[in-house]
Structure 1
Amino acid sequence: MSVDIDYDGDPFRPTKERPKASVVRFDDVEPWARHASDIGCNFDHLVWGYDLPASRWFDRGELRQLDPGEYTDFQSHREDVEGPVEKVVRVVSGRGVLRTEHRDEPLERFDLVTVPTGAAYQLGNAGTNELWLASWTSVGDNHLHEASTLEPAERTGAREEYERVMAARTDEGLQTAPGYAGDYDGDPDEDRPEPTVTRFAESMPKVFHESPAVGCNADRPDWITTTEDLEWFSDSVVMRLDPGTYTSLHTHFDNEGPHEEVYWVMAGEARLVTEYRDERLRRFDCAFFPTNNPHSIGNVGTDTLWVGAWGARGGREAEFELDDLEVSERPGQAEEYERVMAARKERGLSTPSWVSFDDE
């Protein structure tokens, strides 16, 4: 595997068009407690909030820990209260359950839950170990309402919505909360969307092949889910990298939406590579890449690296889908790789062993 780079331009010329990545470290995030409530949250539990001020569409990130038998609030992000809120939830580890007004579904490691605006849901720990859930919220180009920052039980109409959901579950023969009186006098079967579960164990990965032209040094699988039931989020990916392997260094140009992306380390130890710097990432660390930012990630540990990735483009249309093409086949990626390698060399940063330069 080798690539010879003969870049004769100024690698710093498009700097203004290549914004920098940002990193949120788990150790720097102070958790807060979600409190037990009368809308289904049965214990206090911890939540870590991930703030991405440079993002247009990733409005709120949360990492949630639930002990065995603990449940979140039963909630729905109603548009008349919170705006057009969508949510994506990935099981990082543990065994859980998704409860809706019409069904209960088991959740396993790396399963994905997509929650469209207005869908009612509750998440709980159905296993014997801690359940860790990573989630992102988006309202597209809209403003995130203050209601979304409140405890779910404090949001307008939360109790009435809970009563409706309990009535709908009663009609379905599903378990309801202790103390539910069953005196809801409206129509519990309002026309509401339902959350969708994509099961990791039933998904087939796309294999991205070794490609020295863009820095991918081994074949590797990505489990890509296109979030077709959502408008603001475009995709969610699970990446698996063996020790010593790297993804392609790639840039999501405007022809992809434009496309913002988040990486969240779910297990293992990673090295984030950009044209400006390298960063070591550990479990629960998060990296954000704005549109036009070149980035790559590699496994610098001794165990398998698992990374969760989310893409958002605010409802914009892309010229192609990410899982249709190898990275090297996407427009401009090979040229961008050569520019970034030349920029890293000029900055005194390392370049891969398989890269050589004509002027050496």
Structure 2
Amino acid sequence: MPPNNGDLFGLLAILFVLLTGLTFLLTRKEAKIAPPKEKAPREEQVVEVPKGPSWSERLSLGLSKSRSEVWGKLGALLTSSKLDDEQMEEMEEILYSSDLGPKTVHELMEALSSRKNKAEDFKEFLFNFLKEKIVGIQENIHPSLINFSPDEGGKPKVIMVVGVNGVGKTTTIGKLATKFTSQGAKVIVAAGDTFRAAAVDQLAVWCDRAGAEMIRAKEGSSPSGVGYQALEKAISINADYCILDTAGRMHNKGNLMEELKKSKDVLKKLDPDAPWQVLLVIDAVTGQNAIRQAEEFNKALGLTGLIFTKCDGSSKAGAAIPIVQNLKVPITYIGVGESVDDLNPFVTDDYLKALLDY
């Protein structure tokens, strides 16, 4: 029976679909399929880690008590271009309370008297006057006490650190050891405060953090013996620095000062030039009283440098100037806090700018 029209149209429709599908498949083989677009690289976001305060900011903050209680009062007077007699008297009173010392105050008042009727920047004058008093002495700091130089080589540089009780001597030694090891130096530390177990334990923590080796002895044993052992070890391993902690001797105790002299002299059996440096740690709170203290240590041991600590807790940071003047010994480091970064080389300009808010 012949197919009807409906069947014919159905067959034609099926045939059309098949032909269309076949054509599509054949065409697809020849077609070039474009690769998928690569996603644009995601832009990395740079997260800025907040920086801590700079050294100049920490120094300024650390000296703020001295600045506000003493030098800030001077600043109020020094804003005028000329000074009258009443202002001069007021300035003299303030200066005598600043721990500059009578000699320096007298010289400063004489210099100001000859200029009081001149229009000039008195704060600038004060900055230059005080700088002149100590800058020549401050130039005597040995560079290797600040920056380790691996090219120097040779024998260990022996640093003997002394001071009375409570000035922060042990902490200061820990900070110095950390600074040197962070520069690549090999450091040996002698725990010479043998009469205080707590001091030895505290120093051990600092040395562990710094990567410095500590030599200790039994509690109550001879401090000079510990120093000898430390230097012996430093020489044997070719260390760069050998730092000696000492007991917190009171400067007016003669027998104790003799013990320090013995600790110094015994080092010469191993190295005739030892110690390379003898540094006295001074608490800023002591003020001018530190001059007498420092004179006794200098007489007994021959000081080569000073370390001025705890300036952040004192209004007597100005005492650094008469101390340097009287002893003719430079301040090597200044401390304004507890962290390692709070102990830094003493730079005259930075110190005076922070002190005077100049």
TM range (shorter): under 0.3
TM-score (norm 1): 0.28
Q: Which has the greater radius of gyration?
A: 2
Q: Which has the higher helix share?
A: 2
Q: Which has the higher contact order (CA 8 A, sep 6+)?
A: 2
What's the TM-score, normalizing by structure 2? 0.28
